[in-house]
Amino acid sequence: MKNAWTLILACALAFSGCAKKSDDFALTAGTPAYALAKNLAVTLPALDPDRTTILVETKAFRVTAAEVIQAARDNLGTRADQLKTFDAAQLKATIDKAAKTQAERRLLLAAAAEAKTVLPPEDLDRAMQSEYAQAGGEEAFATALKGAEVSIDHVKKSVSETLLINKFLSGIAEKAAVMTEDDLREAYRLESTAGKTASVRHILKMTQNKTPAEKTAAKAEIEGLLAEAKAGADFAELAKQHSDDTGSKDGGGLINCLRGQMVQPFDDAAFSVPVGQLSGIVETEFGYHILMVLDRQNETRTFEEARAELESRLKQSRQGRGVQDYVENLKKQAKFKLIGL
């Protein structure tokens, strides 16, 4: 059942209905989602189901807090009650992230429909059969969902939509991954002369899923940290104390990067800032970074020796960036605005 819940969670608390701006989604009194919202409003009043709280706005639709809570109840059933144990900061971050992902999902479903992307029935059947097997059979799967008060029809719909989005995006990824012999040779030249790997320390102040005011505060904080670093403060200690990157902060912000594997602005800085020096403030989709470049190593193999690995990495990198760029452009066209709690 663990894999089944992973797949459901991967749907990112999605709720497929699209409320128009003049018809924002609201919860119905007496329903489990309404009761959950009332409980959560004790921690965050903006989640009160008797008020309309807009979390995301686009040209075509808006996502309300009520809609996100309904999606949580639809996808997780009684397990959504775990939200009641969250403190205000955790709850805010979870709801805001779910609203953002939910809105992005709507945009992608609309784009897939416009592109006339079709999901063969056997794809959904294969995915569901895999979930049944992991749960010990279809009956056990259905029993587990019933115990959690989750509709099997809703699960199938959510899984179907996720598969459809993945199929649509795979086409975007494949187009982005097209490369020529010249592309490969240029990538090899860069790795042979300007570095294949880079060792850096970095500090991150996250802005993802933050309000404009929180982003402004994060910018001011990173500017202050950069000033301290330039004044000679121990960079590793600054990272340990102030970085929001939980994966690297305990190690003083240390990261070993393979060219092309990080988000573009970070990758550009890691392979262009002179060794031993600091970057300026680098902005990515995650937030504001400062990098200190410690070392870089060049590719030492011949082109033919490195070719297969290089082609695989370049393809993977282009696919990831192609999808990321597509989604960001889709949001830009839709005038996507994350308001948040």
Check residue 148 and report its DSSP letter. Answer: T
Q: What is the pLDDT of residue 341?
A: 87
Where does the pLDDT of residue 210 fall: very low under 50, low under 70, confident under 90, or very high at 90 and above? Answer: confident
Angle, CA 317 vertex, CA 334 and CA 303 arms, to 5°: 150
**Beta carbons within 8 Å of 126's beta carbon, 6+ residues apart:** none
**Beta carbons within 8 Å of 279's beta carbon, 6+ residues apart:** 269, 273, 289, 290, 291, 292, 293
- Contact present, 55 and 64 (Cβ < 8 Å): yes
Strand order in the sheet with 337-338: 62-64, 54-57, 337-338
Predicted TM-score (pTM) of this structure: 0.79
Q: Which of 132-136, 176-180, 191-195, 208-212 has the lowest mean pLDDT?
A: 208-212
- Residue 56, pLDDT above cutoff 90: yes
Provide, rounded to the nearest whole percent, the portion of the chain with pLDDT above 70: 94
- Contact present, 226 and 277 (Cβ < 8 Å): no
- Contact present, 135 and 141 (Cβ < 8 Å): yes
- Contact present, 124 and 156 (Cβ < 8 Å): yes
Q: What is the mean pLDDT of the chain?
A: 91
Q: Where are the domains of the chain?
A: 2-176+333-338, 197-297
Residue 125: CB atoms within 10 Å:
11
Q: What is the pLDDT of residue 229?
A: 96
Where does the pLDDT of residue 133 fall: very low under 50, low under 70, confident under 90, or very high at 90 and above? Answer: very high
Where does the pLDDT of residue 213 fall: very low under 50, low under 70, confident under 90, or very high at 90 and above? Answer: confident
pLDDT tens digits, 7-41: 333 343 443 444 444 478 899 999 999 999 999 99
Burial class (CB in 10 A: 0-12, 13-18, 19+), 144: middle
Report, as an integer, the average pLDDT of 197-207. 96
Provide, rounded to the nearest whole percent, the portion of the chain with pLDDT above 90: 86
CATH of 197-297, one of 3.10.50.40, 2.60.40.10, 1.10.357.10, 3.40.50.300: 3.10.50.40
Tokens of residue 195, six digits: 């570095």
Using DSSP's 3-state secondary structure scheme, residue 61 falls into: coil
